[in-house]
Structure 1
Amino acid sequence: MVDGDTIRLTGGFTVRYLGIDTPELTSSRSFEKGLAQAAKQANSELTRGRKLRLEYDEERYDQYNRLLAYVFLPDGQMLNEELVRQGLARVLVVFPNIRYQALLILAQQQAITARRGWWRELPQAQEPFYVANTRTRRFHRPACPGGKKIAQPNRLILKTPLEAYWQGFSPCRRCQP
């Protein structure tokens, strides 16, 4: 076990779950650190001692040479989806790996509606609007350099961060909307 969205297989391979992101264990924010621990624990409990099936998408490895996969239990349950549904992970769309994007967004909407985990306290708007990139599936604060560079055909204006998450956008790591 590595963390909430990564596992190490018996053969030594490291697998990064596709389509999701959990908080980092090293986060300085206490709420995120608690969620990171909960995601790691849930991931460990769901995978420990079980035979897992990996399903790959377009890219098989990331820049750190980790396998990229959707991880399934013997009963067919997708762990990526389950962690999102429990509110322990958020959707993180990374093209071209989008096979289960709609399923993961639906699971995130269910977690938001039920106010589970990450969604216990819904994000409040701190800006008059947010700028989303429909190609990269990231959203930004209006003053973020990354948001300002979005080509007009890919540019979408959203009223709140919650609207962005509901549609499956992920926050920019730079401006942290």
Structure 2
Amino acid sequence: MKRFFPQKTENRKQKTQAVCLILVLMAWLLACACGRAPLGPPQKARVTQVVDGDTLILAGGVRVRLLGIDAPEMERDGRAAEFLAHKAKAYLAQLTEGKEVRLEYGPLRYDHYGRLLAHIFLADNTLVEAALLRQGLARVYFHPPNLSYREVLLAAQTEAMDAGRGVWQKALNQNETFYLANRNTLRFHRPNCPLAEKIAPANRGKFTSLKEAYLEGFSPCRSCKP
């Protein structure tokens, strides 16, 4: 004998399933709103320590490398500190230490040392890297694909270069007749640098002066140190 169930029973079952689904969705949204499982690196954080002119540490121990710049190196492994290294560190500390900052990221978020790569903004929206460049306490150091604020940073560097501030008191002393450039990496090299020999013809360029290279946003090779 066939059994016939009332239509109301089926409707009640569907309504119950719908209510359960809504409750599950609401619970998930509430968990997200409460921040139980934050995703990705921080958007805002307090700076607890400055390591050097382009590296700082956030609350919780996260080490951050500032994007788009390279400050003079501190003393390490028996090597003396580079020109104005301590001044660059002190200025970065003056700007950021103990303060809450905002962080912005590019496509590449970590370097090969495991440091977080970020642009740092103060409460008044000052771009910290540009402030360092404007004082001549760093040089641009672009690393594709992280090229946000490229024009802003390059303009800040050019201002310091034209005024002869900071590192630009010495950085334009030239001892080569020309320099070879890699358009892919945005680095320039001495003519006899082994890395220059490996530049693909399509990426190879040439600068007749250091100033020309810096004005185009290129940075010196870390190996041959032009």
TM-score, with structure 2 as normaliser: 0.74
Equivalent residue number for residue 5 of structure 1 = 54
Larger RCO (alpha carbons 8 Å, 6+ apart): 1
- Match of 1:156, SS? strand
Deviation at 1:171, TM superposition (A): 0.6
The one of 47, 62, 65 equivalent to 1:16 is 65
Q: For residues 111 and 29 of structure 1, do their structure 2 counterparts lie closer, same or farther at Cα, with a shift above 3 Å needed?
A: farther
Q: In 1, distance between residues paired with 2:221 and 2:190?
A: 8
Deviation at 1:122, TM superposition (A): 4.8
2:196 is the counterpart of 1:143: no
- Match of 1:163, SS? helix
Question: Residues 20-63 of structure 1: CA distance to partner in whole angstroms, max 9, x if unpaired?
Answer: 01111116466x24x11001000000002221000011111112
Equivalent residue number for residue 129 of structure 1 = 178
Q: 1:61 touches 1:68 (CA, 8 Å); kept in 2? A: yes
In the comparison of the two structures, how many residue pairs are matched?
A: 175
Q: In 1, distance between residues paired with 2:104 and 2:220?
A: 26
Q: In 2, distance between residues paired with 1:71 and 1:143?
A: 37
Q: For residues 29 and 112 of structure 1, do their structure 2 counterparts lie closer, same or farther at Cα, with a shift above 3 Å needed?
A: farther
- The residue identity in structure 1 corresponding to 2:179 is Y
Q: For residues 29 and 111 of structure 1, do their structure 2 counterparts lie closer, same or farther at Cα, with a shift above 3 Å needed?
A: farther
Equivalent residue number for residue 215 of structure 2 = 166
The one of 157, 161, 166 equivalent to 2:206 is 157
Equivalent residue number for residue 74 of structure 1 = 123
In structure 2, the gaps of 5 or more residues are: 1-49
Q: In 1, distance between residues paired with 2:122 and 2:210?
A: 32
Equivalent residue number for residue 11 of structure 2 = none
Question: Residues 82-114 of structure 1: CA distance to partner in whole angstroms, max 9, x if unpaired?
Answer: 111110010001111011112111111111011
Q: Aligned Cα RMSD in Å?
A: 1.4
Identical amino acids, percent of aligned pairs: 50
2:134 is the counterpart of 1:85: yes
Question: Residues 98-136 of structure 1: CA distance to partner in whole angstroms, max 9, x if unpaired?
Answer: 111121111111110111100123523211211011110
Question: Residues 140-165 of structure 1: CA distance to partner in whole angstroms, max 9, x if unpaired?
Answer: 01111111211122111111112111
Equivalent residue number for residue 42 of structure 2 = none
- Match of 2:103, SS? strand
Q: In 2, distance between residues paired with 1:50 and 1:114?
A: 30
2:102 is the counterpart of 1:40: no
Give structure 1 regions of 4+ aligned residues with deviation exceeding 2 angstroms: 27-30
Equivalent residue number for residue 98 of structure 1 = 147
Q: In 2, distance between residues paired with 1:122 and 1:173?
A: 14
2:100 is the counterpart of 1:55: no
- The residue identity in structure 1 corresponding to 2:103 is L
Q: 2:106 touches 2:147 (CA, 8 Å); kept in 1? A: yes
- The residue identity in structure 2 corresponding to 1:169 is F
Q: 1:7 touches 1:15 (CA, 8 Å); kept in 2? A: yes
Structure with greater Cα Rg: 2
TM-score, with structure 1 as normaliser: 0.94
- The residue identity in structure 2 corresponding to 1:54 is L
Q: 2:74 touches 2:80 (CA, 8 Å); kept in 1? A: no
